[in-house]
């Protein structure tokens, strides 16, 4: 099946949207579970409602060697347009101690990636949605498949579970069992 790639450029002044937004949380510094939980609190505090959360997974770092991550996918609802959503998530990262130095992958207290913004395709200088590396990362696809198995990737036309079946990433992705989820 051939899916024609089209781009919807979403401007900052667009009409606000409330629909399914999927975010990936990741942490590999300090109290990793605390940072995941606190990110959810801060998202809610700024008006980003978390309606569904995957289990928490411990995963290998991806793209560089470092300590393992805890990752979790959230399904959220928001009235923020994509670029404002990015600004909010970056403010939360800073609030929770994330330091950005240089380019490339690095350890962090918290990382919040925008995976999908409903079925929209966004391509603006600071932001590409869907996240361009989703299909390459088991640590994204496994928790995403847990909470939204039939969600269609708007570019490939495949479900996230189909993408997981095709993913060649062999990194460790293990669900952790929490005493008080």
What tens digit of pLDDT does each residue of 49-86 get? 999 999 999 998 765 566 899 999 999 999 999 999 99
Between the CA of residue 134 and those of 14, 38, 127, what are the distances in Å?
26, 24, 14
For residue 13, tell me if it sits in a domain: no
For residue 72, tell me if it sits in a domain: yes
Strand partners, 77: 20, 49
The model's pTM is 0.85
Q: What is the mean pLDDT of the chain?
A: 85
Q: Which class for 108: exposed (0-12), middle (13-18), buried (19 or more C-beta within 10 A)?
A: buried
User: Where residue 72 sits, what CATH number does that domain have?
Assistant: 3.30.70.560
For residue 57, tell me if it sits in a domain: yes
Strand partners, 24: 73, 113
Name the active-site residue from 98, 137, 138, 169.
98
Assign 8 a pLDDT band (cuts: 50, 70, 90).
very low
Answer positive or negative: Cα dihedral of 63, 34, 95, 80.
positive
For residue 146, tell me if it sits in a domain: no
Name the active-site residue from 32, 108, 137, 138.
108
Assign 14 a pLDDT band (cuts: 50, 70, 90).
very low
Rounded-to-integer distance, Cα 37 and Cα 3, Å: 37
For residue 75, tell me if it sits in a domain: yes
Give catalytic status of residue 98 as yes or no.
Answer: yes
Q: Residue 120: phi, psi to the nearest 5?
A: -80, 150
Name the active-site residue from 65, 66, 100, 113.
113
For residue 137, tell me if it sits in a domain: no
Whether residue 100 is predicted with pLDDT greater than 80 in this model: the reply is: no
Number of domain units in the chain? 1
Q: Which domain holds residue 89?
A: 20-132
For residue 55, tell me if it sits in a domain: yes
Give catalytic status of residue 113 as yes or no.
Answer: yes
Name the active-site residue from 31, 32, 65, 111.
111
């Amino acid at each position: 099946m051939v899916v024609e790639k089209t781009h919807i450029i979403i401007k900052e002044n667009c009409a606000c949207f409330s629909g399914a937004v999927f975010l990936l949380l990741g942490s590999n510094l300090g109290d990793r579970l605390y940072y995941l939980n606190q990110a959810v609190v801060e998202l809610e505090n700024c008006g980003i409602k978390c309606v569904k959360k995957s289990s928490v997974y411990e995963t290998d770092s991806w793209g560089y060697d470092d300590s393992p991550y805890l990752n979790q996918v959230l399904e959220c609802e928001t009235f923020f347009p994509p670029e404002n959503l990015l600004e909010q998530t970056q403010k939360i990262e800073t609030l929770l101690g994330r330091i950005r130095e240089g380019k490339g992958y690095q350890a962090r207290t918290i990382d919040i990636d925008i995976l999908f913004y409903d079925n929209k395709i966004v391509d603006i200088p600071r932001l590409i949605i869907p996240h361009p590396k989703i299909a390459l990362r088991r640590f994204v696809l496994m928790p995403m498949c847990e909470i939204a198995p039939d969600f269609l990737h708007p570019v490939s036309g495949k479900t996230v579970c189909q993408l997981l079946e095709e993913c060649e990433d062999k990194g460790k992705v293990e669900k952790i069992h929490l005493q008080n989820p």
